[in-house]
Amino acid sequence: MRQVVLKHALEDKPRAADFTLIDAPRPQCPDGGVLVTLSHVSMDPYVGARLRGRHMGEPAPEPGVEAIPGHGVGVVIESRCEDFAKGEAVHLMEAGWREYAAAPASAARRIDTEGIDPALHLSALGMPGLTAWAGITRLAQVCEGETVLIDAAAGAVGGTAGQIARAKGAARVIGIAGGPEKCALVTGEYGFDACIDYKQDGWEARLKDALPDGLNVHFENVSSDILNLALTMMKPYGRAILCGLAAHYQTGQPAPGINFGPVIGARAGLHGLVVYDFYDRWDAFAGEIAPMVREGRLRLAHDIADGLDAAPAAFERLMDGKNRGKALIAL
Ligand code: NDP
């Protein structure tokens, strides 16, 4: 079986040359578990920090031995448990960048592939989608008529968050993204009202123009700089969801702080979000979002690496913020 591993321990931002492909024995199906042939594996921004042992206390994978971590979807080819049968489609949290993965039944989740591309179970219907749903519906509790601002809006979390906010009745959904191609995706495909390209001069003024009456909810995926700007436009009793700091993960420096003045002025609520807290609500999330995905009311672009050989270069693009939509490996 082929799998991608680190060549050596990492200190800095991962580059394609830090990875290599090796042949490893195919995992055995455990008693009480399943063996799965993977069709798609996820690449996520937090993995850049995880590879250096700097993500929520989780260890870095052992260089030369352990597959790079990633969620995966695929089909059960052997089952030694009562919960899953051979041929069923499943999602595994600990799949890894490899061709096959074994897991106990408790770590596998059956997925609905009736009219749904299995890869969507790693994006809009996967961990990023659950993150978006938790932030928009459980923490911010977006209501009818509200205005919502979201950065990294072309990505899986941001793109899904905006479309869920709209479904919850938001009157205005504004995105921030890097470059005209991403902004076209956000407005054209995801249906945001506007998307501001922060790589263009004068973008802050354009953002203010797009939010003439301010905003009720801000969903932060990128940096405290953008958060601080959003806070200056927040209406009284607005809410900010602190979901991610993609611009800071690879710098080795903590993100600069939050400007408290506007928080107090707006009587704003700041909610940190960790998706792990919502794993026990996956069924409620999927029950609500799967019909939207199946009926085409929620769409998400996938930025696909074709095979494990293409994964290191695609991951380097993700680390540089150059992905357009959810970064995945198709096997
Ligand atoms: P994305 O596909 O959105 O990729 C990250 C994006 O961040 C990039 O495409 C880029 O978009 C933007 N970005 C801005 N500056 C940088 C930079 N210096 N380096 C790299 N990227 C940069 O990822 P996801 O949708 O998977 O995740 C979005 C955010 O949500 C991330 O911060 C992630 O860590 C976080 N997250 C948090 C979870 C939680 O439990 N709190 C769970 C899951 C995800 P652009 O060019 O448009 O700026």
Q: What is the pLDDT of residue 254?
A: 83
Q: What is the pLDDT of residue 162?
A: 98
- Please identify, by atom number, the ligand 1 atom nearest to the C-alpha of residue 326: 2
Q: How far away, in angstroms, is 304 Cα from ligand 1 center?
A: 16
Nearest CA to ligand 1 atom 44: 128
Q: What is the pLDDT of residues 49-80, one digit of tens each?
A: 999 988 888 889 999 999 999 999 999 999 99
Query: pLDDT truncated to tens, each residue of the chain (331 aa)?
Result: 999 999 999 999 999 999 999 999 999 999 999 999 999 999 999 999 999 988 888 889 999 999 999 999 999 999 999 999 999 999 999 999 999 999 999 999 999 999 999 999 999 999 999 999 999 999 999 999 999 999 999 999 999 999 999 999 999 999 999 999 999 999 999 999 999 999 999 999 999 999 999 999 999 999 999 999 999 999 999 999 999 999 988 887 888 999 999 999 999 999 999 999 999 999 999 999 999 999 999 999 999 999 999 999 999 999 999 999 999 999 9
Q: How far away, in angstroms, is 320 Cα from ligand 1 center?
A: 10
**Is 14 near ligand 1, meaning CB less than 6 Å away?**
no
Alpha helices (H) along the chain: 46-50, 127-133, 156-167, 180-184, 203-210, 224-231, 260-266, 282-294, 311-319
- How far is the CA of 4 from the CAs of 8, 18, 96, 177, in angstroms? 12, 10, 8, 30
**Is 175 near ligand 1, meaning CB less than 6 Å away?**
no
Task: Give the span between the Cα atoms of 314 and 329, in whole angstroms.
Answer: 9
Q: How far away, in angstroms, is 262 Cα from ligand 1 center?
A: 24
**Residue 305: phi, psi to the nearest 5?**
-90, 130
Q: What is the pLDDT of residues 163-221, one digit of tens each?
A: 999 999 999 999 999 999 999 999 999 999 999 999 999 999 999 999 999 999 999 99
**Is 182 near ligand 1, meaning CB less than 6 Å away?**
yes
